[in-house]
Structure 1
């Protein structure tokens, strides 16, 4: 079967002066034509792991300028998302939004729940610029997939993407919670293969997106996971490329 090239919907900027060259070379090696890129290294991994379980807040800003510079060097192969800090006014994002293609919100990093008006203000700006909103959920009140559903109900014309299909690699509960809300899609990096199957069955092939979480996860791992699923060609094409193009507003 002649598979189309991947569009990786979730990557982060690698460290180092040759980060762009290394990322593009790896993408070419693996058949990844394009990738959504957001800032990385916003929070120390040990602190992030603790906050995932215990909660907490972190108010540092992401290096969105570095993301823009990397994307400019990529010849259009890297697609910039703005990693917003809800501890700052939404105007910070509004002033830069036209330079980016989407918005990332991370309750895991910044510790602000979905219903907080600071999060709502950022989503409102995303709607003004036609941006999709990528985010993650946690297993804490105010931060769960159900809380994301309530936010998405307020903005039915905005596409939300739930990263990693939820909080855990086996988060069927998150898949079930977002299923009735049609403007939430699921991105599958880091999940077990049976969760990908469940997401396809319960959300439909139009609401699932391939992502890698590179460089934290090697893209070959996620590609191998998909290849073991033996998906029909139409489903494969939607999940690894066409859905992402639609969410990004491209043909």
Structure 2
């Protein structure tokens, strides 16, 4: 079963670009189905109220629970003091299986990590190139799993992505995803050095084509078992899915 671990959905309310406008899924879902992607992890587009945005994503997930999974988006600064309550609602009422946050909003903090530990949730945190945070996350929260997507930089920061590979190798609880990685040799190097068990398939849909992003994984030419870890096995393990 192929699982896309990285897809945005639902309303945004900033309207500065696609990233904080409505993230419709119609074309994405058609493309994913044609590519053979069986399930997708959804989290909101950027929003001024993530509690509200998470509920909107939960309604999308509830309409197709065998096809979709939810991660709760939180803002580490704006939601300070209510993150545990937001995640309790996300887990116990909305059925979400992970946490999403982005340095574009605010840097990850201890309140988020403590809540992730309490609810046993993986954290997908985009560090926007500040991959050194992996050292602190691994040191202070070795029992929490962190996915730093795009090999650490959607902006194609070559030096950050090289450094991210070292963190993948050294820290058992630090992972990455394949979404938007443009330098194929770096993706290949990450899998070779850190192992297929440290990399998850993600598309950054609905804006990137899931079939194209999936093809990059196929081009790695991995043994079936290793490819299977990237294409879904790792996500199932981290989210404790059957």
With normalisation by structure 2, the TM-score equals: 0.83
Query: The residue matched to 2:211 in structure 1 has which SS?
Result: helix
Which residues of 2 match residues 53-92 of structure 1 at below 5 A? 60-62=48-50, 63-86=53-76, 87-88=78-79, 89=81, 90-92=83-85
- Evaluate the alpha carbon distance shift between residue 84 and residue 41 of structure 1 in structure 2; reply closer, same or farther with a 3 A threshold: closer
- Following superposition, the deviation at residue 155 of structure 1 comes to 1.3
Which of 128, 135, 138 aligns to 1:149? It is: 135
CA distance in 1, matches of 2:194, 2:112: 26
The total of aligned residue pairs comes to 220
Alignment partner, residue 89 of structure 2: 96
- Following superposition, the deviation at residue 198 of structure 1 comes to 1.0
- Following superposition, the deviation at residue 97 of structure 1 comes to 3.2
Alignment partner, residue 229 of structure 1: 220
- Contiguous gaps of at least 5 residues in structure 2: 12-20
- Contiguous gaps of at least 5 residues in structure 1: 43-59
CA distance in 2, matches of 1:190, 1:18: 17
- Following superposition, the deviation at residue 81 of structure 1 comes to 0.5
Query: The residue matched to 1:34 in structure 2 has which SS?
Result: strand
Which residues of 2 match residues 1-251 of structure 1 at below 5 A? 5-13=1-9, 19-42=24-47, 60-62=48-50, 63-86=53-76, 87-88=78-79, 89=81, 90-98=83-91, 99=94, 100-107=96-103, 109-112=104-107, 114=108, 119-139=109-129, 144-167=130-153, 168-169=155-156, 170=158, 171-191=161-181, 192-251=183-242
Report which stretch shifted further, 98-107 or 172-181: 172-181
Alignment partner, residue 14 of structure 2: none
RMSD: 2.1
